Amino acid sequence: MTTPKKEQRAPDYPPAHRLLDGRTVVITAAAGAGIGAAAARRCLEEGAAAVVVSDTHERRLAEAEKALAGEFGGDRVASIRCDVTDEAQVEALFDVAERFGGADVVINNAGLGGTASVLEMTDQQWHQVLDVTLTGTFRCVRAAGRRMVAAGRGGVIVNNASIAGWRAQEGQAHYAAAKAGVMALTRCAAMDLAPHGVRVNAVSPSLAMHPFLAKVTSEELLAELKSREAFGRAAEPWEIANLMVFLASDYASYLTGEVLSASSQHP
């Protein structure tokens, strides 16, 4: 039986090291206060020449662009609404990146969850989660990969997977299947793109704390989930963003087709 862990204090926010100097970064699902938003901020802190953020929530997306532009400069930030289930919108997202010379780094963060037993899950629930979380990631990998290959200067793709892709959990068949698919997609796409100098990796978080999660999860369940973690707490979104930046940086130049676990809850 696992012994509940005492909640430890989160570490201080680490300084930047210019790991992404001069690069153009595209990030999906980057509005709000979750992992995507943290990744956008961290990439700019790490010297990205430009960051293109996208989301389906137009108000939050506009607020995110305004905040980032105010802090880092409007010439380094752009936004566009993008529903990753729509191929035309995915292509339009990468068209925006072309204004900055094309995407050098792509962080595929868009995903959709939900809870339903397989006994009650409808086809519509299954298809919606798979279309956003897995097929949406595929669409972005395909679009980014084609453009990176055509540009001929390599690039990096970082996908957001989940511990759910490894671990069984009640009511999560659609989400777990989608995230396991993201892991397999990552490994196979890495092999397809390696001859062109494009690396593809993924991060697999378990519990990352942000306002939306707190809103839709009971305090009792959050406390239980935190107690299972080695540090007795959820990850901060910026801690996951840091791993994404590492995978996008030259420090990970020989790493491709890997799924980096950001969790102490191994299967």
User: Which residues are known catalytic residues?
Assistant: 175
- CA distances from residue 196 to 23, 90, 218, 258 in whole angstroms, order as listed: 18, 22, 46, 17
Angstrom distance (rounded) from CA 40 to CA 44: 6
253: alpha, beta or left? (left if phi > 0; alpha if psi -120 to 50)? alpha
CA 214 centroid distance within chain = 19
Task: State the number of CA atoms in the 13 A half-sphere of 102 facing the CB.
Answer: 15
